[in-house]
Structure 1
Amino acid sequence: MIIAIRRVIKEHAAQWLGLVVLAILAFGLFYTPGMRRSAGAHAWVMDINTEKIELPEFRQRTTNIQRQMAMLRAQYGKIADLIFQAQGLSAKQEERAMQTLMQETILNQTTARMGIRFSSEYSMENMPRAQQELFDTIPMELFDPYHGLNVKRLHHWIAQQGLSEKFLENAISNAFSRQLLKDLAAQASYVPAYALEHEALMRTAGHTFSVLSFSREPLLKQELSKPVSQEELLAFYNRENAKNQRYWVPEKRSGFFWSFEPSSYGITVTDQDITSYYDDHKSQRFVQDPAKVQVRHILFAVPSEADRQAMIEKAQSVRSQLIAEPTKFAALAQEFSSDKTSAKEGGLLPFFARGEKEKAFEKVAFTLKANGDISEVIATDKGLEIIQRVEKKASTFKALNQVKTEIEKALLDQKFDETFTAAAREIIDQYAQNPTVLDTFVAEKKGKKTTISKIDRTNEEWGKHLFRLGKGDVTYSLEKNAGVLILLTEITERHLPALADIEQRVTQDLHEERATDALKKQVLEAKKAARNQSLDLVHKQMGGTLETIAQVKPEDKKALEALAKKGLPVEQMFQIEKKGGLIDYKTDTHGSLVRLDELETLNKEQIAAILASKTGEFERESTGLFVRGLIASLARHATIKVNEIEKEELDEQDVASEE
């Protein structure tokens, strides 16, 4: 939410950082579009600073986002669209594809001119670290939560998409570079104390609202009673087809697919295979308890930059004493450390693993070679620190018998991918001359047959392959837990029905559109009236449904879910900052006016208690908004062109996925 922070997030700082980056773009390293993607013969969809995004890349991105959004909607339901909104992303797949490609291209251009670049070797070895940045490029299902990226499936996906290995290397390297740029931008963000206090109030205080709601239903009844002329109907039909191909019937395809499962494919995994896999992957995948280290530390807080040099000298002086007499560490920690809690214990901290402390602190702690070793003076977020290693515990690993089943499945899947892929390619090569090879293979490997009858485009992997085939052709796909052979037998071409054939549907759509327009006008008129009078009076004058929502706290998830189920704009409601503040909210079927009647008062002690546990969360959200603001600033300064002709052609071809 970050209500106040959104307004006071140092807009001038974002502009300043944007200007610095823009200056680098103007005067920095020479950059050409070919550094990212080479020019080709494909039609282009978008041109960003003379760098073109071509149609195949846009198609691939749209398909991948389609899959992502389907997975998120399946997991989160209606809340998924709120998640997209909170991230500043469109809930429409084509718009989001344009958004992400534009943002990535602008950031890639920026990092290139700043000289930020990671080698392909480093990028490939550390690919999981850039996983979040890669989700829009590489399908989420290729990332295993336990074992990282499934490299074999990745290469299979690359081949199916017609991409090159170089494309993958560049995509991963660019992802690392973009992440570094975002990290640098995050370091420049700042949230003042008063904004944090206001956010604590808005996140925690109870809110009381009045809501005046209007429904489209009575307006639609009025519209349905009105006649519609053939001229009006034809004009609407033509307009909707020109705008978004609304009444086109998408291409449909028919055929068969056969699925094959690793468990029934006749593959065996030996105990020796399992043991070798365990030995090779034990330290990466089967850690029971990670390595831990215990240290003492002395913290020298730095009150301001003006004090830094003096504190460095003080820390170096203390370190000199420790090098001479390491056994005095506990005593000197008690005397000098600004961390008063650990100072009482001689600076001793509990054992910790990697990822549990600040990176700079953790890196030094784990690189000290022996117990008693003392670090250099290091800079951390807390100030300056000296570390002494006390003890280190080595990693422990899960026993082979604990992970045997998991390994067996991983090896079974791996062997299945290899053998099924090889067999499928042979079938594809031989099928045209000898169709019986398919039947023989299916019978031998116990494939399960499914009939496909006039289906639209689908997010299923096999469905996407079906729409790439020519009539009578065979192909294959590796799904998450199976292999699939696909045969296309029939294509029903895309077509536009005559108005006379769908007149009833078009008439209903026209009435609904007019009722929606009337609803939006009604809400705006009610909002105008509510500026000078109570919602109760507006209700009496204009109708609708008026209700009072008793005090609700933003942290009460059940109450918020109940409001969302009513169709109320929950997030916008809790962004109203002042008593009497009014917002309107409109959908195609409902409209609402929401007024904040009361905002609970919290005292300074209550706000301080909230900030004690929530400051980090507020600052992280603020940082995310700051980075998004920087990207928006870069986009405003970029020269962006959209090839409307190609976009229209793409919309026509992809209308099936819209419907």
Structure 2
Amino acid sequence: MISSIRSTIKSRYIIQIAVGAILVSFLLSVPLARRFGAGSSDPIMVNNVGVSAHEIEARIKSEEKMQQEFQKRFSGISMDVIYGSSGKSSNPKERAVSDLIEEALFESAGNTAGIVVDNNYVIDQLKNPAFVQHELGDIVPQSAWNGRHINFKALSAHLNRAGKNIEWFEDQVERRLVRQIAQNVSRIFIHAPYSQLVNAYVQRFVKRTYQVATFELQTYIDKLEKLPVDSTVLRNFYNYENSQAKRYWSTEQRDGSVWSFTPEAYGISVSDKKIEQYYKRNRHRYLKEARKLDLEIIKVSTNKLVQELHSSLKLDGSKFKELAKKHSIDKKTASDGGSLGMIDPITLSSPIERAANKLVKDGQISTVIDTKSGFAILKRIGSKPAIYKPLSDVKSEISKELKVEQFSRVFKREVRNSVRIAHRSENSVTNFIKKRNGKKESIATPASSGAQSAPLLNRITTVDGFAFDLIGSTGYLVKLTNRVKAEPEAFVKVEDRVKQDYIKNQAAKQMQSEMKAVSNGLEQHSFGSVPSQTYKDVLPSDSGSLDDLFKKGLSSTRLFELTTPKAYIVDQGASHGFVAQLSTVSSYDPKKLDSELLTIQNDLVMQELRTIQRTFIESLLGHATIKNDLRGTSARGN
């Protein structure tokens, strides 16, 4: 299946990135030509890139689920407070659409700059767990991904059930790679001044003293609970929260019947010959021990040095261990002559893995490898071939898989036909269930939400409608018998809960107001009369004295970002708020700073990337044409 992708995504896709081309060409309004063409039915158009209704619906559901988790975690606090702190809308639809528009901006910018992707790069990324999980997780089901490889047969079956095909999947992969490259190209513009490197070093390695004032939310709640609250105020709060997040809505109730079917009811058998043929075609799936290579590595930080070493090794590869001990910056392997031992190449970083797999004979030296932390050279010392499980060990497993495969085809064909004619013949479904010995159970959501067939029940749109699918080795046919849609709960029914939430929301605002007043006082370097506590000799790697504050919600990341004495942060968790000031910073050894500069610089590039991308997005938004922007005016900044 990978070979079919390789032929479909042809070699015309070559990475073509010119420094600044994305931003410059976009600002000059170079005409766009999206290769995959936006569909005329796409609800949102960003330049020539369409955002489909399916994408919008899926992202809104994801945002709603995340918001529900936030509401459980920060019970009673308004979503305006939670999302407002990060500059986001409290409306899940607005957040979803904003994110999708930003992604479309990157895609159109990538097309404008002429970014296309090489076939080998596509294949590499389809084997990259991080890319598959983070970028393709919504279209590659768990059943088609084993953590290392995509099962394209299972993927194709999944896509067919959703009305898609492999060609659609290939388009999605390329689109997302173009978008990813457009996002990552902004690293080109990152420069870390020496002063920034010093600050980063202080964050990690230099002891410091903090002074922290802690505010408890419950204290403010207790005070407000003693005061009367006007019913009109509560009703306004109820209406606002429902309009933004459906906070006081009932949960949709569904009832149905589910019939389960197994391969045994179909009398399916598989011959030994078919099992043996399947084993030979798919032997790679029954790996007992992966192929391993005995490798040595030299890692250096400069291109000049790596080129000198590589030239020397081309003349005399026997010097590898000697040069590794002398020049390699990899502390784990340098003392042993760069030995990585006998390892599976997949455990190495992508560029090093690719280079290792190109070494076909013992003693061979790799080309220079460009890595995130510098440069590397590999030498192959030996190899150990892959070991596969014998047929006798996996025969029953293959037999079961082939039976399920046959069962899947027959079951889906029969149930599809019976459901299709159900409106003409009431007995068609009944006869099918009786013929195939379907076992009936009742199902209800959300009560039975954990059941395997629950997603099928939720998929049905009309009462007396059907849905079916194969889950694992069991076929399911589900009928929706009753549906009570979600709707706003009556105010009188939830008034007590609304009051509790309103008080908690107001308490959070009061606490934030007092925290702001304290932080304003720190402009004059004083906590005033507010109680505070001092924490001395703190390091990120040894911050046990602050653990209690971190458990209450103080962000360790934000706290340790402070590097200048008298600098401060205002932070808030679910139950407490904090104003924390960096009081003093100990002196440090300049020699140790110099030894850590390379690592710090590489880390800063990643940290700065988000800020660079944010600026880039704002520039793109300022010059983009967005048709049918579904965000609210607040989300658009109007």
Per the TM alignment, residue 173 of structure 1 is displaced from its structure 2 partner at its CA by 1.4
Per the TM alignment, residue 181 of structure 1 is displaced from its structure 2 partner at its CA by 4.2
Distance in 1, matches of 2:215 and 2:374, equals 57
Instruction: Indicate if the aligned counterparts of 1:208 and 1:549 stay in contact, CA closer than 8 A.
Output: yes
Per the TM alignment, residue 471 of structure 1 is displaced from its structure 2 partner at its CA by 0.8
- Partner of residue 330 from structure 1, selected from 314, 318, 329: 318
Q: What is residue 80 of structure 2 aligned with on the other side?
A: none
Q: What is residue 54 of structure 2 aligned with on the other side?
A: 56
Q: What is residue 134 of structure 1 aligned with on the other side?
A: 135
Matched, 1:569 2:555: yes
- Partner of residue 479 from structure 2, selected from 474, 487, 495: 487
1:253 match: secondary structure: strand
Per the TM alignment, residue 235 of structure 1 is displaced from its structure 2 partner at its CA by 3.6
Matched, 1:102 2:65: no
Matched, 1:633 2:615: yes
Change over 3 Å in CA distance of 1:449–1:402 after alignment to 2: same
Q: Give the TM-score taking structure 1 as reference length.
A: 0.71
Instruction: Indicate if the aligned counterparts of 1:119 and 1:173 stay in contact, CA closer than 8 A.
Output: no
| Code of the aligned partner of 1:632 | R
Change over 3 Å in CA distance of 1:464–1:276 after alignment to 2: same
| Code of the aligned partner of 1:20 | A
Provide Cα deviations, 1:82-109, integer angstroms capped at 9, x if missing partner: xx99x99999865663354234312221
Change over 3 Å in CA distance of 1:506–1:115 after alignment to 2: same
Provide Cα deviations, 1:413-437, integer angstroms capped at 9, x if missing partner: 5455444433432342244423573
1:210 match: secondary structure: strand
1:488 match: secondary structure: strand
Q: What is residue 519 of structure 1 aligned with on the other side?
A: 511
Change over 3 Å in CA distance of 1:254–1:195 after alignment to 2: same
| Code of the aligned partner of 2:550 | A
My pick for the range that moved more, 588-597 or 554-563, is 554-563
Instruction: Indicate if the aligned counterparts of 2:221 and 2:504 stay in contact, CA closer than 8 A.
Output: yes
Matched, 1:496 2:496: no
Distance in 2, matches of 1:71 and 1:409, equals 39
> Aligned ranges for residues 21-170 of structure 1 at < 5 Å?
21-25=22-26, 30-32=31-33, 35-40=36-41, 44=43, 46-49=44-47, 51-63=49-61, 94=93, 97-98=96-97, 100-118=99-117, 123=122, 127-129=126-128, 130-135=131-136, 137-138=138-139, 141-146=142-147, 148-151=149-152, 153-159=154-160, 161-163=162-164, 165-170=166-171
Distance in 2, matches of 1:508 and 1:293, equals 65
Q: What is residue 424 of structure 1 aligned with on the other side?
A: 415
| Code of the aligned partner of 2:615 | S
- Partner of residue 555 from structure 1, selected from 513, 531, 541: 541
Provide Cα deviations, 1:483-534, integer angstroms capped at 9, x if missing partner: 4322111122343345444443434443333333222212222322344465
Q: What is residue 571 of structure 2 aligned with on the other side?
A: 585
Per the TM alignment, residue 636 of structure 1 is displaced from its structure 2 partner at its CA by 0.9
For structure 2, the 5+ residue unaligned runs are: 1-16, 73-82
Q: What is residue 474 of structure 1 aligned with on the other side?
A: 466
Matched, 1:441 2:428: no
Distance in 1, matches of 2:574 and 2:500, equals 14
Distance in 2, matches of 1:196 and 1:162, equals 52
Provide Cα deviations, 1:423-460, integer angstroms capped at 9, x if missing partner: 43234224442357358638955646242167699998
| Code of the aligned partner of 2:508 | T
Per the TM alignment, residue 36 of structure 1 is displaced from its structure 2 partner at its CA by 4.2
Q: What is residue 172 of structure 2 aligned with on the other side?
A: 171
Q: What is residue 451 of structure 1 aligned with on the other side?
A: 443
Distance in 2, matches of 1:267 and 1:561, equals 60
| Code of the aligned partner of 1:575 | E
Q: What is residue 10 of structure 2 aligned with on the other side?
A: none
| Code of the aligned partner of 1:37 | A
Provide Cα deviations, 1:356-388, integer angstroms capped at 9, x if missing partner: 67877765665466567788x757569999988
> Aligned ranges for residues 162-241 of structure 1 at < 5 Å?
162-163=163-164, 165-182=166-183, 184-186=185-187, 189=190, 191=192, 195-196=196-197, 198-206=199-207, 208-241=209-242
Per the TM alignment, residue 298 of structure 1 is displaced from its structure 2 partner at its CA by 13
My pick for the range that moved more, 458-467 or 94-103, is 458-467
Distance in 2, matches of 1:90 and 1:560, equals 32
Change over 3 Å in CA distance of 1:532–1:629 after alignment to 2: closer
Instruction: Indicate if the aligned counterparts of 1:466 and 1:486 stay in contact, CA closer than 8 A.
Output: no
Distance in 2, matches of 1:318 and 1:220, equals 71
Per the TM alignment, residue 473 of structure 1 is displaced from its structure 2 partner at its CA by 0.7
Per the TM alignment, residue 23 of structure 1 is displaced from its structure 2 partner at its CA by 2.0
Provide Cα deviations, 1:143-166, integer angstroms capped at 9, x if missing partner: 422563344553454455555654
Provide Cα deviations, 1:175-230, integer angstroms capped at 9, x if missing partner: 23334445555566555666455434423445554332223334334333333344
Change over 3 Å in CA distance of 1:244–1:289 after alignment to 2: closer
- Partner of residue 520 from structure 2, selected from 524, 528, 543: 528
| Code of the aligned partner of 1:441 | I
Matched, 1:354 2:332: no
Change over 3 Å in CA distance of 1:525–1:101 after alignment to 2: same
Identity across aligned pairs (percent)?
19
Provide Cα deviations, 1:110-140, integer angstroms capped at 9, x if missing partner: 2222333348999589634441453354255
Change over 3 Å in CA distance of 1:620–1:53 after alignment to 2: same
Change over 3 Å in CA distance of 1:116–1:272 after alignment to 2: farther
1:148 match: secondary structure: coil
Change over 3 Å in CA distance of 1:113–1:366 after alignment to 2: same
Instruction: Indicate if the aligned counterparts of 2:249 and 2:486 stay in contact, CA closer than 8 A.
Output: yes
Per the TM alignment, residue 59 of structure 1 is displaced from its structure 2 partner at its CA by 0.3
Higher helix share: 1
Instruction: Indicate if the aligned counterparts of 1:289 and 1:395 stay in contact, CA closer than 8 A.
Output: yes
Instruction: Indicate if the aligned counterparts of 2:49 and 2:107 stay in contact, CA closer than 8 A.
Output: no
Task: Report how many residues are paired.
Answer: 598
Change over 3 Å in CA distance of 1:66–1:492 after alignment to 2: closer
Instruction: Indicate if the aligned counterparts of 1:49 and 1:638 stay in contact, CA closer than 8 A.
Output: no
> Aligned ranges for residues 576-655 of structure 1 at < 5 Å?
576-586=562-572, 589-597=575-583, 599=585, 602-604=588-590, 611=596, 616=599, 618=600, 621-639=603-621
Provide Cα deviations, 1:386-427, integer angstroms capped at 9, x if missing partner: 988765554443444565676566556545544443343234
Change over 3 Å in CA distance of 1:262–1:73 after alignment to 2: farther
Distance in 2, matches of 1:333 and 1:125, equals 30
| Code of the aligned partner of 2:110 | T
Change over 3 Å in CA distance of 1:455–1:336 after alignment to 2: closer
RMSD of aligned Cα (Å):
5.3
For structure 1, the 5+ residue unaligned runs are: 1-15, 75-83, 323-327, 540-545, 652-659
Instruction: Indicate if the aligned counterparts of 1:293 and 1:366 stay in contact, CA closer than 8 A.
Output: no
Distance in 1, matches of 2:228 and 2:237, equals 14
1:485 match: secondary structure: strand
2:97 match: secondary structure: helix
Change over 3 Å in CA distance of 1:256–1:288 after alignment to 2: same
Per the TM alignment, residue 571 of structure 1 is displaced from its structure 2 partner at its CA by 2.4
Q: What is residue 79 of structure 2 aligned with on the other side?
A: none
Change over 3 Å in CA distance of 1:447–1:552 after alignment to 2: farther
Provide Cα deviations, 1:221-259, integer angstroms capped at 9, x if missing partner: 433333334443444344444444443435432223345
My pick for the range that moved more, 48-57 or 155-164, is 155-164
Instruction: Indicate if the aligned counterparts of 1:529 and 1:538 stay in contact, CA closer than 8 A.
Output: no
